[in-house]
């Protein structure tokens, strides 16, 4: 029992020791902390304090900037383009599914197990893509 208490006291004494670390702000503005063994990058100077925070008022004023707004006519044009692009993608994916199904039809040449597995996965992927495109088309049409 006494040995356990001594070990706990020794462990607690070592836990209170501070770890030496260096702080610096990386080129992307993120504060980095490195321990004493890691080399500090030469290109990044150590800051005096914490990295500057973005001003919430300035950020909010940028969001209200009229140059960053989209007119309703421009948004309608983008929505029409979106529908057209989704339709083209759906047609292309349907053609790929049809081609994969034609390859999956029993023919005189038997497919190996690996080829059969790959073809099954390809058919599944095309079906999932078609479902996702149809769902996105429904959402886009409902939003109009």
85 in a structural domain: yes
How crowded is residue 37: how many other Cβ atoms within 10 Å of its Cβ? Answer: 6
- Answer positive or negative: Cα dihedral of 78, 83, 87, 90: positive
By residue range, what is the domain housing residue 78?
A: 69-143
Rounded to whole angstroms, how far apart are CA atoms 5 and 11? 10
Reading the block at residue 61, the tokens are 């004023």
Quick one: how many helices (H) and strands (E) in the chain? 4, 2
Q: pLDDT tens track of the chain, all 144 residues?
A: 555 555 555 555 555 455 566 777 777 777 777 665 655 555 555 455 555 566 655 555 555 666 677 788 888 888 888 888 999 999 999 999 999 998 888 765 677 888 889 999 999 999 999 999 999 999 888 876
Residue 84 in domain: yes
Put simply, whether the predicted model's pTM sits higher than 0.85 gets the answer no
Tokens of 138: 């429904």
- Buried/exposed code over 98-118 (b: 16+ C-beta within 10 A; e: otherwise): eebeeeeeeeeeeeeeeeeee
1 part of a folded domain = no
Classify residue 24: in a domain, yes or no.
no
Residue 86 forms part of a structural domain: yes
């Amino acid at each position: 029992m006494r040995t356990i208490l001594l070990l706990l006291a020794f462990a607690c004494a070592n836990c209170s020791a501070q770890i030496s670390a260096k702080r610096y702000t990386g080129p992307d503005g993120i504060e980095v902390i490195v321990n004493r063994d890691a080399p500090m990058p030469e290109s990044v100077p150590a800051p005096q304090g914490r990295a500057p925070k973005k001003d919430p008022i300035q950020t909010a004023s940028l969001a209200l900037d009229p140059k960053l707004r989209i007119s309703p006519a421009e948004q309608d044009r983008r929505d029409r383009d979106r529908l057209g692009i989704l339709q083209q993608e759906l047609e292309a994916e349907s053609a790929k599914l049809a081609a994969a199904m034609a390859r999956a039809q029993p023919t005189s040449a038997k497919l190996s197990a690996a080829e059969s597995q790959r073809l099954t996965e390809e058919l599944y992927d095309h079906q999932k893509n078609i479902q996702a495109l149809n769902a996105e088309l429904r959402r886009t049409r409902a939003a109009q």
